[in-house]
Amino acid sequence: MAHLEGPEYPELDRVIRLWPGPQVLLGRPIYWQEKRDGSFLRARLHDGEVVIASRHQEPPSDSFGAIFAGLPAAEKVKELLLWHSGLGGASPLGNFNFGPVIFGELLSKGKSPARVEYHDASKFVVFDIWSTKAGRFLPYPAVYSLCVHFDLACVESWALTQHSTLEDIWAQRDAMLALAQERGREGVVLKAFDGDTALYAKEKLDQPRVERVKLDTSAVHLPPLADSEVFGAIAKAQADLGVEGFREKAVAMPLIAKYTAEEMQKHLCGKPVRSFYAYYLEFLETT
C-alpha cells in the first residue's frame, strides 16, 4: 500500500470524548456542518501536478481515481490548487499563495458507504482546506468563499453558535441531529475555532447519547459496532483495492477486518451483529 504523503486529516471523535472534556468548547464559536456519507478524498500538488489520496492510500485505487478524474470538479480543484500555490496565474481572489490541500467527500453514484444517501450521479464536495503556509485548516468562511469562486460544491454549515453551558451544547447538538435526520444526512460535524487553533468533533444519528446515561461499571459490555461504521470500513477497503481487487474475497476480507477493528477500537464498540463476510456480501449486492 502506498505511503500517504502530506497532511493527514484528523480522526474525529464525539464531543464527549474531547480532551480534557467537552467543556473546552465553551465560549468558542462553533460551526455545525452537515456530515456527508461518501468516500474521503484529498487533493494536493506535487511537482505542479494534482495528486489525490483516499484515507489510507496515495494515490487511491484506479477506479476511484477514474471517478474523480471524470468529474467537472477535478479541473476546478486543479485550478484552485495551482492558482493559490503561485503556479496558475491570477486567482479570482488575488495572489494569495498559501499552498492549499483540499479535503472532501467523493459521492459516488448509487448508495453511499453507510447507506444513508443515494446519489443519482457522482459528485465531489469540499469539507476542508489546509493551508501549508499557515500549518492549519482554514476557517469555514474562507473555505466557502474559495469554493464559490472556483465553482466547487461545499458542505453546508447549518449554524454558528457560542455556548456558556454544556446543557446548551447538548441541546444544540440534538437540534442539529434532528436537522440531519430531516435532510437525510449521516450526522453533523462541529468545528470550533479560536485564533489559530481548532477543535473538531462529530455526532452521528446512530450513536447513543452517552453523556446522559448512568453506567454500571461492575461489568463492561461493549455495544456492537453500528452497521454504518462497518459499511464505512468496507468502503475504505474498496477505495484502496479498486473494484476488481475488492471482488477478490481473499484480498478484500483481511483489509475489511483490519479497518473494521480500527472502527471498533475508535468507537469503543464490540463486534457488529453480523459477520464481516455477511456485510461484505451485502455491500457487493447493493453497490
Tell me how far apart the alpha carbons of residues 200 and 53 are, in angstroms, rounded to a whole number. Answer: 21
- Do the Cβ atoms of 30 and 163 come closer than 8 Å? yes
Q: Which residue has the higher pLDDT, 206 or 256?
A: 256
Cell of 203: 455526532
Amino acid symbol at 155: V
1 has pLDDT over 50: no
pLDDT tens, residue by residue, 53-89: 988 888 778 888 899 999 999 999 999 999 998 876 6
Q: Is the pLDDT of residue 3 over 80?
A: no
CB count in 10 Å sphere of residue 13:
15
In angstroms, the CA 173 to CA 229 distance is: 20
pTM over cut 0.95? no
Whether residue 138 sits in one domain with residue 163:
no
pLDDT tens per residue across span 206-242: 887 766 555 454 555 677 899 999 999 999 999 999 9
Q: Residue 224 gets which letter from DSSP?
A: B
CA distance 91 to 13: 36
Same domain, 53 and 194: no
Among 211, 241, 276, identify where a domain stops: 211
Cell representation of residue 167: 446543557
The whole domain housing 278 covers 214-286
246, 225: one domain: yes
CB atoms within 10 A of CB 47: 5
Domain tally, the chain: 3
Q: HSE on the CB side for 219, CA within 13 Å? A: 1
- The residue whose grid cell reads 444513508 is 116
